[in-house]
Chains A and B, each alone.
Chain A
Amino acid sequence: MNPATRSPLMWVVHLSVLLIVALWTLPTAGLLISSLRDKDQLAVSGWWTSLSTSSQNIVVRAPGPETQVERDGKFVISGNLLEGQQGRISAFGFNSREPAAFKAGETAELNDGEKLTVQADGNFEIVSDKKMEGSRGQRVFVTASSPPRFTFDNYGEVLSAEGIGRSFINSLTVAIPATIIPIMIAAFAAYALAWMPFPGRAILIAVVVGLLVVPLQMSLIPLLKLYNGVGAFFGVPAKTYVGIWLAHTGFGLPLAIYLLRNYMAGLPREIMESARVDGASDFDIFVKIILPLSFPALASFAIFQFLWTWNDLLVAIVFLGAGPDELVLTGRLVNLLGSRGGNWEILTASAFITIIVPLIVFFSLQRYLVRGLLAGSVKGG
């Protein structure tokens, strides 16, 4: 291909990749931006407008006649319609048919002889010659434009009031032991399957490959029964952290054994044979030679398992209680979707807290993740 025919085609490639990347990142970006916006702005305008000054029509009720004061023989109600919020009022009105009849700074004559003046900064005055009566304040329609506001308030709120902070600790409590423990168990098993000859080895490997795809759903009911039985027998709660650590260990083992066995089987035979000639036992060979050499595979699996246990919802809601000291982040988020379905400031901030840890792991350790995926999928079944 010569450069002349190549360049327009390359432009198409660049543009289409750019489009795809935008499509794949915008959803997450929208979540992040929204979580940082002021909740009143978030509720009325899309996140893509968050950098522009937003204009909104709001209805405010002025304080009632009981707040009027007499000044120079006139009765006055005054205050600020924006109540300390930042923003500018461009227009106002007192009638829902003409909500923007007057410009800021003008004086409107209300139906009963009262005069309403609204300034751009929100200060207003209702002036009347006679004492104002009635129990409710005057309705005022204003067109207010507010500058973009970004804040960490949403995060502060979900971390304390919505229990996300506590759930964060719970998720860590679940994920870390559930990542470390299967690695130990799987590494020894993988070594046995890779380098120790014994009858039935091929069948065992086939069983592990088969178990890779057994749906979790098959395990739920029998294990729930088993856990309840064990709990009742020993007089301990059925849903405990120990229970979920062991459950994650069991469910993670097929992939762990499979990945590690594939990797270990690819290590050069000569190293082990020379060590054996020097009188090293299988245990020594494993601990001193195989384990250090298998570090990339161990790291790959650790990342998979951590992401899977942190992101898991099903195992957590079946095998762990729903109390505040046990509910994990994903479970909490599902609950919030039900109870605070319309409060996007809470949902976006909560969701971002639940995905930030996996994202950090992903961006810092992506190399190992990719290597693990390739070892698991391209090589074997």
Chain B
Amino acid sequence: MLFQLVKAAGFMLGGVIGCAAYFWGTSFILDLIFPSKGKSGAVASRNLRITNAIRPWLFLGPALLALTIYLIYPVFMSLWYSVHDRAGQNFVGLSNYVWMVNDGEFRQSIYNNFLWLLVVPALATFFGLIIAALTDRIWWGNIAKTLIFMPMAISFVGAAVIWKFIYDFRPEGSEQIGLLNAIVVAFGGDPQAWITLPFWNNFFLMAILVWIQTGFAMVILSAALRGIPEETIEAAVIDGANGWQIFFKIMVPQIWGTIAVVWTTITILVLKVFDIVLAMTNGQWQSQVLANLMFDWMFRGGGDFGRGAAIAVVIMILVIPIMVWNIRNAAKEMKGH
């Protein structure tokens, strides 16, 4: 145990020293080969030009290598595996995709993911916006914000345990220790095993992600709301607008861009939601989603890499529109500078 920590610390230290040595060493060697100091004007400027052309690539080298191995290469390989059989050896054309379309569990996942995409980003952004607007007006707003932001630090698995406890079910007649059933019983209802109710259980799982992501939306939208020029609000007040009108007609339209960013960020997260479903239901009771189905096929019966990769490709395709939108925004931003 101690040895393991020492090993980790050693690797960390080695990694940091290695990185430093690489960056410092390559810079040093570059200057040694193409010295610009103490040379005559023509040679110095030529060498300076060469070093300036090479140095960025030395700085970028390790990052590009890691990005290529861990993200770029896998994207192409996943495409390749998705048209091959379970072991990734024989070309099978589109049969993995054909299987997928005909598979009831896959269609269930697509349907559920669609529900998630519809509900979670909308609710998290909406709550975030409302809470941001409300907490900006009260003296203890920052304390409230911290507490609402807190679930952001909790792992999906930890959050799943927290909420499974809330949804806990005891048969009718015995005392409920799950908060939700206790409330239902207190109002005279019958206790339910919430996460086993097909269709509705999706919403009980979504509540967990909304709980986690509202804080994120709130923090960003709150900053955006504070960035709204005072004059626009003052002008509206002078024109006799009431609180609702000011909020929805003056403030919200000015932060549409930020709302879109929050919305898309949560959308990406929703497409990848995995831990919550795995921990709560593992896809039972018709609560399967794409990411969990993909993981399932990766290891089910020894693993079917062809089908797993095909499902991953579907997730990727769903992400692409947002990716394109992000890149275009970033490009616009860069031109502005």
- Do A184 and B161 contact each other (CB < 8 Å), given the known contacts A13-B138, A307-B153? no
Q: Are A358 and B59 in contact (CB under 8 A)?
A: no
Q: Are A209 and B327 in contact (CB under 8 A)?
A: yes
- Do A378 and B309 contact each other (CB < 8 Å), given the known contacts A215-B316, A217-B315, A241-B11? no
A173-216, CB under 8 A of B: which get 1 and which 0? 10011001110111011011100111001101111111111111
- Who on chain A is nearest to B72 by CB? A211
Q: Are A185 and B219 in contact (CB under 8 A)?
A: no
Q: Are B19 and A358 in contact (CB under 8 A)?
A: no
A245-280, CB under 8 A of B: which get 1 and which 0? 111011101100100000001000000000000010
Q: B247: shortest Cβ distance to chain A, in Å?
A: 12
- Chain B residue contacts of A249, Cβ below 8 A: 66, 70
Q: Are A192 and B165 in contact (CB under 8 A)?
A: no
Q: Are A380 and B137 in contact (CB under 8 A)?
A: no
Q: Identify whether the interface residues of B are mostly helix, strand, loop, or mixed.
A: helix
Q: Are A344 and B63 in contact (CB under 8 A)?
A: no
Q: Say yes or no: is A225 at the interface (Cβ < 8 Å to chain B).
A: yes
Q: Say yes or no: is A347 at the interface (Cβ < 8 Å to chain B).
A: yes
Contact of B162 among A27, A211, A378 (CB under 8 A): A27
Q: Are B165 and A31 in contact (CB under 8 A)?
A: yes
Contact of B8 among A173, A193, A222, A361 (CB under 8 A): A173
How many chain B residues have a CB neighbour from A under 8 Å? 121
A322-335, CB under 8 A of B: which get 1 and which 0? 00010000100110
Of residues 274 through 310 on chain A, the ones whose CB sits less than 8 Å from some CB of chain B are: 279, 281-283, 286, 307, 310
Q: Say yes or no: is A348 at the interface (Cβ < 8 Å to chain B).
A: yes
Contact of B327 among A169, A314, A361, A381 (CB under 8 A): A381
Q: Are B291 and A217 in contact (CB under 8 A)?
A: yes
Q: Say yes or no: is B295 at the interface (Cβ < 8 Å to chain A).
A: yes
7 A-B residue contacts at CB 8 Å? Answer: A21-B144, A27-B162, A43-B177, A46-B178, A333-B279, A359-B153, A377-B258
Residue numbers of A with Cβ under 8 A of B are 1, 9-10, 13-14, 16-17, 20-21, 24-28, 30-31, 34, 42-48, 166, 169-170, 172-173, 176-177, 180-182, 184-186, 188-189, 191-193, 196-198, 201-202, 204-226, 241-242, 245-247, 249-251, 253-254, 257, 265, 279, 281-283, 286, 307, 310-314, 318, 325, 330, 333-334, 337, 344, 347-348, 350-351, 354-355, 358-359, 361-363, 366, 370, 373-374, 377-381
Q: A192-B57, A250-B67, A283-B23 are in contact. List 13 more A-B contacts (CB 8 A).
A: A24-B147, A30-B166, A184-B15, A188-B62, A191-B59, A196-B56, A206-B330, A211-B72, A221-B312, A348-B161, A358-B155, A377-B261, A381-B333
Residue numbers of B with Cβ under 8 A of A are 1, 4-5, 7-9, 11-12, 15-16, 19-20, 23-24, 27, 31, 37, 52-53, 55-57, 59-60, 62-64, 66-67, 69-75, 77-78, 81, 88, 127, 131, 134-135, 137-138, 141, 144, 146-158, 160-166, 168, 175-179, 182, 211, 214-216, 219-220, 223-224, 237, 243, 258, 261-262, 265, 268, 271-272, 274-275, 278-279, 291, 294-295, 298, 305, 308-309, 311-313, 315-316, 319, 322-323, 325-331, 333-334, 337
